[in-house]
Amino acid sequence: MTPTSLDASTLRTSDAVAPDADAVDAALAASGDASAYERLYRRHVNRIHTLVCRMMGEDAEDVTQEVLIRAWQKMGTFRGEAAFGTWLHRLAVNVVLNRRSARGRWRKFFVEEPAGGLDHPARPLPPAAGVDFETAIAGLSPGARQVFVLHDVEGYRHQEIAGLLGISVGTSKSQLHYARMALRQTLG
């Protein structure tokens, strides 16, 4: 007997809601049951909205809506191999990233962090102390923000992030460090 797949993903998404209820409603939604899909929407919309906004660096309800429309259109491809929340989360990440027409456009968002130890003069790091942590994340450069949100908030690994963003693993690591260094200013 193979138990119903309730994926124990490392991603933060999968523990947000009860996966058993999701499994039933996802099956119903895949057969065209809009009521079941609305229940899925209610359980996941806050999570997806937050993810999209953090990745975009701004309130992005239109993108959130786009994600949820695409999810309905793709329900037939959901096989229950991962938790519905994980599947939806990955779809959201892809929608956000696809908003950039070409991967090449991403590269310019990745700022170069100067090499060196603490003996090197530190460059000014935005944001200033006292800024709200969410606001500070939004204020990061797009590349550093994407890496930070995916790694430290959402639990992705550098290898996955590098693949998603079309960058090297080393760049992902350095961007993450840059983001953490910047955000530590907000801790007060």
Partner 1 sequence: MTHPLQEQLSLYLDGELDPADSGRLEAHLADCPTCGALLTELRRVMGRAQALEDRPPRADLWPGVAAAIGVKPAPRRRFSLTVPQLLAAGVVLMVLSGGGVAGALHLRGGGLRSVAPGESRPAIERSVSATSEHGYEAAIRRLEAELLADRGQLDSMTVRVVEEKLRLIDRALLEAERALAADPANAYLTGHLTDTRMRKLDLLRQAIALSRAVS
Site of interaction with partner 1 (CB under 8 A): 1-6, 16, 18, 20-21, 23-24, 26-28, 30-35, 37-38, 41-42, 45-47, 49-50, 53, 59, 61, 64-65, 68-69, 72-77, 79-80, 113, 115-119, 133-134, 148, 152-153, 158, 173-174, 176-177, 180-181, 183-184, 187
How would you class 7 by CB atoms within 10 Å of its CB: exposed for 0-12, middle for 13-18, buried for 19 or more? middle
Closer to partner 1 by Cβ: residue 140 or 165: 140
In the block, residue with structure tokens 């550098």: 158
Closer to partner 1 by Cβ: residue 102 or 120: 120
Q: How far is the CB of 73 from partner 1 (least distance, A)?
A: 5
Q: How far is the CB of 167 from partner 1 (least distance, A)?
A: 15
Q: What is the rounded distance in angstroms from the CA atom of residue 157 to the CA atom of residue 22?
A: 25
Q: How far is the CB of 36 from partner 1 (least distance, A)?
A: 8
With beta carbons less than 8 A apart as the criterion, state whether 16 and 85 touch: yes
Indicate the DSSP class of residue 153. I
Q: What is the rounded distance in angstroms from the CA atom of residue 179 to the CA atom of residue 160?
A: 18
